Structure 1
Amino acid sequence: MIDVFLTVDVEVWCDGWRDIDAKFPSAFQRYIYGPTFRGDYGLPYQLHQLQEHGLTGVFFVEPLFSTRFGLERLSEILSLIREKDHEVQLHMHTEWVDESNEPLLDNISGKKQFLRYFSLKEQTILIRAGMNLIESAGGPSVNAFRAGSFGFNTETLRALAANHIAFDSSYNASMFGLDSGVSPAVPLVEPVECEGVYEYPMTVFHGGTRSLRHVQITACSSREMEGLLWQALESERKAFVILSHNFELLDSAMNRPDEIVVARFRRLCSFLDRHRDCFRVRGFHGLTPAPVLLQPAPLTSPIWKTGLRMVEQGLRRGFR
Structure 2
Amino acid sequence: MRVVLSADIEFDINGALTYPRTQTPRGVESVFRECVGGDQGLGFLVDTLDRHGLVGSFFVETLAARHFGVESIRHLVDRIGQNGQTHEIELHVHPEWQHLGQDDWRDSLHTAREQGWRPNPWLASLSPSDFESLLEEAIENFQAATGRRPCVFRAGSLSIARSMYPVLARHGLHMSSSVGLAINPPKDPELGLWHRAAAFDGVNEVPVTSFSDLGLGHWKHRRLLTIAGCTFAEIRKLLEQAHARGCGPVVLLTHASEFSVAVEPSDSRRFLPLEVNMRRLQELCAYLAAQSDRFDVTTLAACASLPATAAREERPLSIGPWQWPRRWADAHAVQRVTVRAQGPQL
TM-score by length of 1: 0.90
Task: Tell me, yes or no, if the aligned pair for 1:47 and 1:81 is still in contact at 8 Å.
Answer: yes
Instruction: Give, in angstroms, the shift of residue 126 of structure 1.
Output: 1.5
Matching residue of 1:316: 334
Instruction: Give, in angstroms, the shift of residue 175 of structure 1.
Output: 2.4
| Separation in structure 2 between the aligned mates of residue 157 and residue 263 of structure 1, nearest angstrom | 37
1:270-313 Cα deviation digits (max 9, x unpaired): 11111111111111334313344544211111211233222222
Task: Tell me, yes or no, if the aligned pair for 1:8 and 1:246 is still in contact at 8 Å.
Answer: yes
The one of 122, 134, 147 equivalent to 2:130 is 122
The one of 288, 309, 322 equivalent to 1:304 is 322
After TM superposition, the structure 1 = structure 2 runs for residues 63-102 of structure 1, keeping only pairs within 5 Å, are 63-83=62-82, 84-101=85-102
Going from structure 1 to structure 2, the CA distance change for 1:22 and 1:98 (only over 3 Å counts) comes to: closer
The one of 257, 278, 281 equivalent to 1:247 is 257
Matching residue of 2:286: 270
Task: Tell me, yes or no, if the aligned pair for 1:143 and 1:284 is still in contact at 8 Å.
Answer: no
SS at match of 2:214: coil
After TM superposition, the structure 1 = structure 2 runs for residues 21-40 of structure 1, keeping only pairs within 5 Å, are 23-24=24-25, 27-40=26-39
SS at match of 2:250: strand
Task: Tell me, yes or no, if the aligned pair for 1:98 and 1:110 is still in contact at 8 Å.
Answer: no
Matching residue of 1:183: 190
| Separation in structure 1 between the aligned mates of residue 175 and residue 22 of structure 2, nearest angstrom | 34
Going from structure 1 to structure 2, the CA distance change for 1:318 and 1:237 (only over 3 Å counts) comes to: same
The one of 243, 246, 250 equivalent to 1:233 is 243
Instruction: Give, in angstroms, the shift of residue 69 of structure 1.
Output: 1.9
Matching residue of 1:195: 201
| Separation in structure 2 between the aligned mates of residue 187 and residue 85 of structure 1, nearest angstrom | 29
SS at match of 1:123: helix
Name the % identity: 24
Task: Tell me, yes or no, if the aligned pair for 1:88 and 1:139 is still in contact at 8 Å.
Answer: no
Could you tell me which amino acid in structure 2 is paired with residue 196 of structure 1? Answer: G
1:4-53 Cα deviation digits (max 9, x unpaired): 111100010141215699945xx224322111123220101111111111
Q: Say what the alpha-carbon RMSD is for the aligned residues.
A: 2.3
- Extract structure 1 runs of 4+ deviating beyond 3 A: 18-24, 290-295
Matched, 1:204 2:210: yes
Matched, 1:289 2:306: yes
Could you tell me which amino acid in structure 2 is paired with residue 133 of structure 1? Answer: N
1:69-111 Cα deviation digits (max 9, x unpaired): 2111111111111334211110011001121249xxxxx9862
Could you tell me which amino acid in structure 1 is paired with residue 294 of structure 2? Answer: C
Task: Tell me, yes or no, if the aligned pair for 2:159 and 2:186 is still in contact at 8 Å.
Answer: no
1:105-126 Cα deviation digits (max 9, x unpaired): xxx9862211112111111221
| Separation in structure 1 between the aligned mates of residue 144 and residue 194 of structure 2, nearest angstrom | 34
Going from structure 1 to structure 2, the CA distance change for 1:248 and 1:290 (only over 3 Å counts) comes to: farther
Which 5+ residue runs of structure 1 have no aligned equivalent? 103-107
Matching residue of 1:136: 144
| Separation in structure 1 between the aligned mates of residue 136 and residue 89 of structure 2, nearest angstrom | 16
Q: Which has the larger radius of gyration?
A: 2
| Separation in structure 2 between the aligned mates of residue 23 and residue 114 of structure 1, nearest angstrom | 21
| Separation in structure 2 between the aligned mates of residue 187 and residue 240 of structure 1, nearest angstrom | 12
Going from structure 1 to structure 2, the CA distance change for 1:273 and 1:50 (only over 3 Å counts) comes to: same
Going from structure 1 to structure 2, the CA distance change for 1:110 and 1:309 (only over 3 Å counts) comes to: closer
Matching residue of 1:224: 234
Matching residue of 1:105: none
Going from structure 1 to structure 2, the CA distance change for 1:279 and 1:140 (only over 3 Å counts) comes to: farther
**Pairs aligned (count):** 310
| Separation in structure 1 between the aligned mates of residue 164 and residue 212 of structure 2, nearest angstrom | 27
